[in-house]
A = this chain, B = another copy of it.
Amino acid sequence: MGDWTVQNPGTIAVAGASGYAGGEILRLLLGHPAYVRGELSIGALTAGGNTGTTLGEHHAHLLPLADRVLTATTIDELAGHDVVFLGLPHGNSAEIANALPDSTVIIDCGADFRLTDAAAWEKYYGTAHAGTWPYGLPELPGARERLTGATRIAVPGCYPTAASLAMAPAIAAGIVEPRVNVVAVSGTSGAGKALKPNLLGSEVMGSVSAYGVGGVHRHTPEIRQNLSAISDTEVTVSFTPVLAPMPRGILATCTAPTTVTADEARAVYEKAYADEPFVHLLPEGRYPTTGSVLGSNVAVIGLTVDTEAGLLVVISAIDNLTKGTAGGAVQSMNLALGFTETDGLSTVGLAP
């Protein structure tokens, strides 16, 4: 963390400011205590095709920045900032990262630097692997330490955030077999602002759809990586994403074979998350609803054991744009810069 003051604030650039990730980062920054105090300032807001338009045309909810004009996403525009958030299409981050100084804190909301396995990257993304950065999910074992003071951070995918938080304690404690099944229902903002017919309001309202079925979704290797890293053996992951008619939220239903009781499983989770400010374990018999975490940075988790089926069943709910993207990014930024980890992040959702 620099010695930033109101007179000499740290500056933040957001590349991809007209997208949903960019907008959510800005929403959170506008409420960040260091921004409110004037010790952080918002610098360049850049875009691709939307260059030259105002932020208000894309994010009418960000009134304090409504008149800010978007500039082009170039090295020149991003240079000179202390912190740069990247909300770009996959594959575009490496070039920018390489051109900026090592001291710049770069926080990439894209996938480029998430995977450690180059082969998995190439299989799922089809381009050359750019590398691996510290992974911005502080609740995973060892992650918080790697993020503290980091200058390069790979923000996790939204589904991997929900699924990894749901299953990590069980996998790490070895109370389940390493075969995880994830069916995760997501709101539409996870697909971004891409102009595709299947994302039109007329199509998504009143309907749910499965897509990326059979292990082909790009978040599959990321979930596998997170869980395998804390397991004695390689974890297999079956992942099915489902699109639901709501703008935000992910509800992940995760199962794995177990022989422990529900109480034993609960004890494992209580211990794992006892000190986590952004994981909330529900009491026995209660399960989460995504409506309770909209705009909040919390993952709410409910769990039980289905004794007849022999499965641990864990349900987790997050806001895909907050804890699943921009909130995780700001939480990681706080660790990187030495702020209090919870600064600017709420445990209170907007409901109903």
| Residues in chain A within 8 A of chain B (CB atoms) | 20, 23, 27, 30-31, 58-64, 179, 181, 183, 185, 187-189, 191, 193, 195-197, 199-211, 213-215, 236-238, 240, 242, 244-249, 251, 253, 255, 262, 280, 287-296, 298, 300, 302, 304-311, 313, 315, 346-352
Contact = CB atoms under 8 A, between A and B. Distances in A.
Given A188-B200, A188-B201, A195-B200, A63 B347 contact: yes
B302 A236 contact: no
Given A207-B249, A209-B289, A313-B214, A60 B351 contact: yes
B61 A291 contact: yes
A197 B300 CA distance: 20
B248 A352 contact: yes
A303 to B, nearest CB: 8
Contact of A61 (B23, B181, B188, B349): B349
A209 B282 CA distance: 13
Contacts of A251: 208-210, 242
* A62, A188, A346, A348 pick with most chain B CB within 10 angstroms: A348
B181 A246 contact: no
Nearest to A349: B61
A193 B81 CA distance: 41
* A197, A242, A302, A351 pick with most chain B CB within 10 angstroms: A351
A179 B103 CA distance: 53
**What DSSP secondary structure best describes chain A's contact surface?**
mixed
B352 A202 contact: yes
Given A27-B350, A348-B62, A255 B213 contact: no
A191 B201 CA distance: 10
B253 A305 contact: no
Nearest to A350: B295
Given A60-B289, A63-B348, A193 B188 contact: no
Contact of A309 (B20, B202, B238): B238
A191 B214 CA distance: 30
B245 A308 contact: no
A196 to B, nearest CB: 7
A19 B240 CA distance: 30
A236 B308 contact: yes
